[in-house]
Amino acid sequence: MPFYIGIHNGLCYGVFFDNTHKAYFNFGASNNRFSSFGADAGEMNYYLIHGNSVSEIIKQYTDLTGRMELPPRWSIGYQQCRYSYYPDKEVFTIAKTFREKDIPADAIVFDIHYMDKYKIFTWDQERFSDPKGLMQTLKDQGFHAVVMCDPGIKVEPGYETYDAGVKNDIFLKYPDGENYQGQVWPGWCHFPDFTNPKARAWWATKFQDYVNLGVDGFWNDMNEIATWGNALPENLEFDFEGNKATMRRGRNVYGFQMARSTYEGTKKLLKGKRPFNLTRSGFSGIQRYSAVWTGDNVAYDEHMLLGVRLVNSMGLTGVAFAGYDAGGFVGESNPKLFARWMSIASLSPFFRAHTMINTRDSEPWSYGEEVESICRNYIKFRYQLLPYIYSLFYDAAKRGMPVQRSLAIDYTHDHRVYNNLYHNQYLLGPSILVAPAESNQQLLKIFFPSGNWYDLYSGKVWAGNQETIVESPIHKLPVFIKAGSVLPMQHSAAHTGVKQDELILHIYCGNEASDFLLYLDDGETFDYQSGKSSTRLIQMNGFENKVTISASEGDFTSSYTKIKIVLHGSPADKILVNGHSLALTHHVHSFFSPLEKYDPINEPDSMGEENVRETSTEYTVEKIELSWS
C-alpha cells in the first residue's frame, strides 16, 4: 500500500503514490528536515490529500482507490482453519464438536489437502469421496465452506485445468513466448497472467464446480507469486490490458488482480449471493475485492501483537476487513498464548484460528477446560456484538472507515497515542477500547484517551486523559466502553444464520453525546444495493439522560420485534419510553464469569454488575425516545 499519512504542527495530510514498481519511503528518521518517496521505475504519479482529520483523509483516499462491498454476514463470524483438515470424517467431527460444546462458529476452511495432489479445482477422491454431500452436511449444521485457491497450475498434460490454460493462452510468459515455470505445491507450475482480461475471464469460470457443490468462500494464497527456490524473473511479460510490461511493474499487483478475478467470477456465479474472498497479497484498492490476512505468522507473543498493529495500519489504508491467524500458524502455541490470542482476535474484523501441519491441534477446546471456557466466552461476546460490528462494516462500505481503528484516527494530536507503551491499543468502532496484553502479562500500563471509560467486566468507570496500570489476567483482556455510547447487541447463537427477535441496547451513561447508525439487511445478497436494507440513527445525549432512536429508513423488515434496554452506570429508578413509564429491574449477572473455576457462561444478557438496570420495549415502534431519571 504505497500510501501514508503525515501528522505534524497540528495538521495532517495523505500521500498516495500511484506506482506499482518497487517503491521506497523515507520518513525522516535520520534526517528531520524532510521525508521522501520514490520508485525504481514508472511514472512519478501521486496524490497529495489534504484534510482536517485523519478520518477525512481516509475517506478521500478510499474515494480514489474504492471501498468494499458488504461481505456476507457469516464471514464476520468465527472461522476455523488448519493446514489441513482431512479426510472428510475429520471435518464432520470438527463441525459436530463446535455444536456439542456450544461454541459459535460459521465456517470451516479447507487448506490444500482437499485437492488431488494440490491441483487447483480438483478434489482428492480418497479423502473426500463425496464433496457435495459434505457441503450439504455442513450447511445443515449452519456452516459455510471456504476453499484454498492457489494460482500455480500444475504442468501435467491431461489435467483439464492445465490443458485449458494452454489452449486459451493465459499464462505468464518469457519474452520469447515460452510459458514461465516455477515450483510450488503441485510441482512445476504455470501461472495465469491476471493482468490479462482474457486470463481473468477464464479463471473466473473455473469456480463453477465449487459453486455447484455449495462453496461460497474462497481463499487466494501464495499469490505474491510465491515459488520455491528462486525469485520471479524480472523479464517476465505481463499483459497489463494490452500495454505489456515486465515483472518489475506487475509483481505488486499480481495478487490484487487474482483476488479481483476470483471475486468478480464467484460473484457472478453465485447469482446474487455475496461471496467471501480472502487474499494474502494485494495492492491499494484490494478492499474492493477481498479481505486480507497477514500471512504465515509464528506462535509467539511478538507476532500476536504485531498482527494487531498490522491490522491497525491496513485500516488506515482502506482495508477494513483484515485479520491474522489467531493462535499462530508456525510452531507450537501454548494454553496462555492461545487463550490471549483468541480473546484479542474476537475483537478484530476478520476472526480465524489457523495452524500448520505437524503441530498440535488449535481448536478452542484443544488446550484444556480453562482455555476452552475463555475461548467460548470471547467467541460468544463477538456474536453478541454482531449488530454493532456489522454496522461498522456498513460504515466501511459507505465511508471507508476501518472497523479496527488506530487511536491516531480519533486522538490524532495526543502525543501519548504514539508512545510505544500504547501502540498496540485500538478502538473497535467508535466505542470499544481494546488494550492487548502479552499472554503472561498480569498487569498492563494503558492510556485512556479523553472521556470516561467503563470496564467491560466490572462496570468501574475510569477517567480519561490518564495513564494507569490495569489488571490483565489471562481470562480478562482489558476492554473498555466509552461513556456516552450505545452498543446495539443481540443474544449469542450457534451461527449467524439463527434469526433473532430481540435487539439489546447497552447504554453507557455519561455526560457525553454520541450517535451510531444501526444497519440491517439480509446479510446474504446484494439486494441492499437496491434499497432492501434499513438504518436507524441512535443518538445519545448524556447531559439530558436521553437516547433517541430514529424511525427505520429503508425497505428491509428486520426480524427484531422488541428491544431490551440495559442502563450502565445510572442510579435511575424510572425510564420513559415515548412518554410512557416502564419499570427498571436490577440485573445481577456480569457479562463474563470471573472464571475462577473456569465455568462456561450461560448467556447472561448484561455487562457489568454496578448500577445495571434493564427494561424492554417494542422494536417495531417507529421513532423511540428513551429518558431516565
Rg (CA), the chain: 25
DSSP 126-168: TT-S-HHHHHHHHHHTT-EEEEEE-S-EE--TT-HHHHHHHHH
Q: Is there a contact between 352 and 81 (Cβ–Cβ < 8 Å)? A: yes
Domain topology for 79-146+203-223+247-397: TIM Barrel (3.20.20)
Which range, of 407-416, 506-515, 535-544, 613-622, averages the lowest pLDDT?
A: 613-622
Q: Would you say residue 344 has pLDDT above 70?
A: yes
Confidence of residue 598 (pLDDT cuts 50, 70, 90): very low
Q: Is there a contact between 378 and 436 (Cβ–Cβ < 8 Å)? A: no
Q: Would you say residue 592 has pLDDT above 60?
A: no
Task: Give the integer Cα–Cα distance in Å for 76 and 62.
Answer: 21
Q: Is there a contact between 51 and 57 (Cβ–Cβ < 8 Å)? A: yes
Give percent above pLDDT 70 in the chain: 96
Contacts of 60 (CB under 8 A, 6+ apart): 14, 49, 51
With b for 16 or more beta-carbon neighbours within 10 A and e for fewer, the 2-13 pattern comes to bbbbeeeeeebe
What pLDDT score does 605 carry?
38
What pLDDT score does 460 carry?
94
Task: Give the integer Cα–Cα distance in Å for 155 and 118.
Answer: 12
Q: What is the pLDDT of residues 171-180, one digit of tens each?
A: 999 999 999 9
Task: Give the integer Cα–Cα distance in Å for 574 and 629.
Answer: 6
Q: Would you say residue 610 has pLDDT above 70?
A: no
Q: Would you say residue 602 has pLDDT above 50?
A: no
What pLDDT score does 31 carry?
74
Q: What is the pLDDT of residues 235-271, one digit of tens each?
A: 999 999 999 999 999 999 999 999 999 999 999 999 9
Q: Would you say residue 455 has pLDDT above 60?
A: yes
pTM for this model (two decimals): 0.95
Amino acid at the residue 221: D
Q: Which of 221, 410, 521, 605 is catalytic?
A: 221
What pLDDT score does 596 carry?
35
Question: What does the domain layout of the chain look like in residue ranges?
Answer: 79-146+203-223+247-397
What pLDDT score does 573 carry?
76
Q: Which of 116, 296, 370, 625 is catalytic?
A: 296
* Cell, residue 217: 468462500
What pLDDT score does 587 carry?
55
DSSP 485-547: -EEEE----SSTTS---EEEEEEE-SS-EEEEEEEE--SSBSGGGGT--EEEEEEEEGGGTEE
Q: Which of 224, 370, 502, 512 is catalytic?
A: 224
Which range, of 26-30, 444-448, 457-461, averages the lowest pLDDT?
A: 26-30
What pLDDT score does 139 carry?
98
Q: Would you say residue 586 has pLDDT above 70?
A: no
Q: Would you say residue 231 has pLDDT above 90?
A: no
Active site residue 296: yes
Q: Is there a contact between 174 and 182 (Cβ–Cβ < 8 Å)? A: no
Q: What is the pLDDT of residues 66-81, one digit of tens each?
A: 999 999 999 999 999 9
Please confirm whether the linkage preceding 186 is cis (ω < 30° from 0). Answer: no
Instruction: Name the average pLDDT for the chain.
Output: 93
Q: Would you say residue 496 has pLDDT above 60?
A: yes
What pLDDT score does 609 carry?
46
Task: Give the integer Cα–Cα distance in Å for 542 and 302.
Answer: 40
Q: Would you say residue 325 has pLDDT above 80?
A: yes
Helices (H), 236-368: 247-269, 301-316, 335-345
Q: Would you say residue 601 has pLDDT above 70?
A: no
Q: What is the pLDDT of residues 132-142, one digit of tens each?
A: 999 999 999 99
Q: Would you say residue 42 has pLDDT above 70?
A: yes
Strands 107-110, 144-149: pairing kind: parallel
- Return phi, psi of residue 215, to 5°: -75, 135
- Return phi, psi of residue 164, to 5°: -70, -35
Q: Mean pLDDT, to the nearest integer, of 13-27?
A: 94
| DSSP 8-state code for residue 51 | E
Confidence of residue 606 (pLDDT cuts 50, 70, 90): very low
Element (H, E) at 397: helix 386-399
Q: Would you say residue 183 has pLDDT above 60?
A: yes
What pLDDT score does 600 carry?
34
Strands 322-326, 291-293: pairing kind: parallel
Q: Mean pLDDT, to the nearest integer, of 608-620?
A: 70
What pLDDT score does 373 carry?
96
* Paired residues of 17 in beta bridges: 46
Q: Would you say residue 227 has pLDDT above 70?
A: yes
Active site residue 221: yes
With b for 16 or more beta-carbon neighbours within 10 A and e for fewer, the 396-432 pattern comes to bbeebbbbbbbbbbbbbeeebbeeeebbbbbbbbbbb
